[in-house]
């Protein structure tokens, strides 16, 4: 923590926060196309996330040669819920606390389920099992000089919800086609056959 004394300066709200990963090595920091970093067993091709395994979790394999790979940026909602009450410490949340939705997402290629928050503004009432989502980076929490980023899931086709990609005020760089409908009901748009 920097020892910042409160000199006669007005609060520096306009200063840019340094953006850092809330946890190192679990995702890329590519603002345009971030991806989760997982592991793949060289022997049996089993995928693992987070990338902290020392050996393959497949009980029929248990090989120890795991290679790092970037995982699919898209998936479909496998299950979801919301968090209406602020979890106790050591969980870090925005102040004031804002309820958020959580989704367990089956990744498109790996068919592995990864849990994550939905982007701010996503109402649990608007989610359905099977909805297509994509990975984005967004703020988990901030302190005086840093913004801690984490991956979140964004409904495919939805407008940015004030997250990481929205900072410049220029929305033209957002991903995907612009759709103004709030629902984003483009289910199973890119379902793969086997
Ligand atoms: Zn294996």
Q: Where are the domains of the chain?
A: 73-168
Cα of 88 from ligand 1 centre, angstroms = 37
Confidence of residue 73 (pLDDT cuts 50, 70, 90): very high
Which pLDDT score, from 0 to 100, does residue 45 have?
A: 95
Cα of 46 from ligand 1 centre, angstroms = 5
How much is the average pLDDT of 12-36? 83
Task: Dump pLDDT digits (tens) for 119-161.
Answer: 999 999 999 999 999 999 998 888 889 999 999 999 997 655 4
Task: Dump pLDDT digits (tens) for 49-66.
Answer: 999 999 999 999 989 999
Cα of 143 from ligand 1 centre, angstroms = 41
Cα of 109 from ligand 1 centre, angstroms = 17
Which pLDDT score, from 0 to 100, does residue 130 have?
A: 97
Cα of 53 from ligand 1 centre, angstroms = 11
- 3-state per-residue secondary structure call for the chain: CCCCCCCCCCCCCCCCCEEEECCCCCECCCCCCCCEEEEEECCCCCEECCCCCCCCCCCCCCCCCEEEEECCCEEEEEEEEEECCCCCCCCCCCCCCCCEEEEEEEECCCCCEEEEEECCCCCHHHCCCCCEEEEEEEEEEECCCEEEEEEEEEECCCCCCCCHHHCCCCHHHCCCCCCCCCCCCCCCCCCCCC
């Amino acid at each position: 923590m920097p020892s910042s004394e409160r000199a006669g300066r007005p609060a520096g709200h306009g200063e840019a926060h340094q953006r850092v990963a809330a946890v190192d090595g679990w995702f890329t920091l590519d603002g345009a196309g971030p991806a989760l970093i997982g592991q793949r067993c060289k022997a049996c091709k089993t995928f693992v996330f987070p990338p902290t395994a020392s050996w393959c979790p497949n009980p029929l394999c248990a090989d120890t040669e795991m290679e790092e790979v970037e995982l699919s940026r898209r998936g479909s909602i496998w299950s979801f819920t919301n968090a209406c009450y602020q979890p106790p410490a050591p969980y870090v949340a925005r102040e004031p606390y804002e309820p958020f939705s959580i989704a367990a997402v089956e990744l498109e290629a790996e068919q592995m389920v990864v849990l994550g928050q939905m982007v701010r503004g996503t109402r649990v009432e608007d989610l359905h099992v099977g909805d297509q989502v994509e990975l984005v980076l967004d703020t988990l929490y901030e302190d005086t000089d840093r913004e801690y980023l984490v991956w979140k899931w964004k409904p495919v086709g939805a407008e940015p919800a004030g997250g990481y990609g929205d900072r410049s005020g220029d929305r033209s760089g957002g991903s995907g086609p612009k759709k103004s409908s709030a629902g984003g009901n483009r289910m199973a748009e890119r379902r793969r056959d086997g």
